[in-house]
Amino acid sequence: MIASRRRTLGAAIAACSVVVLLAACSGSGSGTSPAGGSCVRADAQNHLKISAKDVAFSAPCMDAKGGKPIVIEFTNDEAIGHNIAVFTNSSKSQEISKSDTITGPGKSTTITVPPQAPGQLYFECTIHTNMNGALVVTGSPS
């Protein structure tokens, strides 16, 4: 009976872990970073690089330091137009920064997100709203 309860508890913990991971990767602005290293990490200057191809971003998550501007270089690697916009959350009620639409393989643009407190922001291509993700702001700059 104890072994059966342990298996049931273990299965429940595993199921909860899957739910937490799926929620973190959904780009919902929930405040949690996706697991498994799927975030593009900012360099020492707090610059990020992300691209679009096959109507998808190259990563579902970007990770930057708080307290200083976040510079995002966005490259479109396909013939259809894309942009990138950063919002406070997935409701999109407050836009923080948005690029122009760029079309054509290899075209790039850069946006700057003003210094942010630690937390999670939301980004998307406003032309193809299924292209979205989380911009996770952690700690302060070193």
Per-residue pLDDT of 10-33, as tens digits, reads 444 444 333 333 333 333 333 444
pTM: 0.75
pLDDT for 139: 87
| Domain boundaries along the sequence of the chain | 2-138
CATH topology of domain 2-138: Immunoglobulin-like (2.60.40)
pLDDT in tens, 32-88: 445 445 899 999 999 999 999 999 999 999 999 999 999 999 999 999 999 999 999
β-pairing verdict for 70-76 and 39-41: unpaired
